[in-house]
Amino acid sequence: MTSVNRPRPTPSEARQRRARLRALTGLGSLAALVTACSVSNPNARPTPASTATVTTNADAVAMAALTGVRVRFHADDHFPLATPRSDTACAGDTKTFYDPFSRTSDGPSPLPASALIPEMTIHPSFIKNVSVDLTHANTPTSESAPNAAYACSFGDSTLAPAPSDCATFDTEATYDTGFYTFLDHRCEGAGPISTPDPALSRLLAGGIYFDLDRTELGENENLVLHVTYIPLGTSNSLPSGTPDDLSHPSYPKLNASETARFKVHLVKTGLTAFDQRATYQPRFLTFADTERYPQVVKTLAILAPPTGQPREEQLLIPLSLDPAIDRIRVERHSGSGILVQAALFKAGTK
């Protein structure tokens, strides 16, 4: 990940920008922002004539037979800014899915390539898409850092947060792990809450989405989610080399307020697979509208042990509570952390 070099807005500029955002979107609604930024973004994508999802027969048969999947939240396994998805021009979607039950000497075994989209593998038919929020998606393109996914971002609109390294794949500028990483001190002004308070403007920025096709699951069928993550805390060092890091008040360590806190929600979007994949990045700006995209189960679980070490958690996902639930959202509520991988399995009876 290349650190974003940009002038920090003054508190007054930040307040004005967030006030305009809130005025435009009303009571937390960000639907208008999507339209407004599409107009202001000269590279905005045209709306396709059809959003139907098409799969070949070979893909459909293989996908229907899968009862689980593993996803690594690593840069190598997701569409990057330089080479986004061919059908949406969006970055952040998972492109390589793994067999959760087998491994090779090099690690987990990837599933077979898709006959429909060769740059992707297949995945279980009950999954429409898996993706992450990218807070640097609206970074202007350059010769050294091409951004072919700029059209699938909120662009340079002053109504949207400036690009940041708050929630990105860590490939260079921080811990250099390649995994999906949150850095709390780089999230100021990045979140969906309109406020001059930096502690609040950092909240709710970043996370992952498991979008589900409920027609491929039984009405009373549940899932099991297994998550591996690292909740960074006071025992962990800050990355170094940028002004944001070196000016941190507790450098070289993170402070207690930055301990990672993730929340798991079950959401109703009602969107097609294409519309979910085509939502502008970072996607939490759109899906923060909980009136339009209600959280059917709010805070199913909180993942927040201040260990600073790798953790594994297993959760029952009770889809049988409501047939309208079509998304599992793992949200960065606050703090710094790293999401490593997750596995999702069928757990009920059709």
Contacts of 112 (CB under 8 A, 6+ apart): 62, 121, 122
- What's the whole-model pTM score? 0.82
Provide the pLDDT for residue 334: 95
Q: Please say whether the beta carbons of 227 and 338 come within 8 A.
A: no
Q: Please say whether the beta carbons of 262 and 331 come within 8 A.
A: yes
Query: CA-based Rg of the chain, rounded to a whole angstrom?
Result: 19
Q: Please say whether the beta carbons of 274 and 48 come within 8 A.
A: yes
287 vs 162: CA distance, rounded Å: 18
Strand partners of residue 207 = 331
184 vs 255: CA distance, rounded Å: 10
In the chain, beta strands by DSSP E: 68-72, 98-104, 107-110, 127-132, 167-169, 180-182, 207-212, 223-231, 261-267, 295-303, 311-317, 327-334, 337-346
Provide the pLDDT for residue 244: 63
Provide the pLDDT for residue 306: 72
List per-block mean pLDDT (blocks of 10 residues) for the chain, which spans 350 residues: 43 46 34 34 44 64 95 97 95 97 88 91 97 96 89 87 94 81 93 91 96 95 96 83 65 82 97 96 96 96 86 96 97 95 86
Q: Please say whether the beta carbons of 346 and 68 come within 8 A.
A: yes
Sign of the dihedral through C-alpha 337, 338, 344, 347 = negative
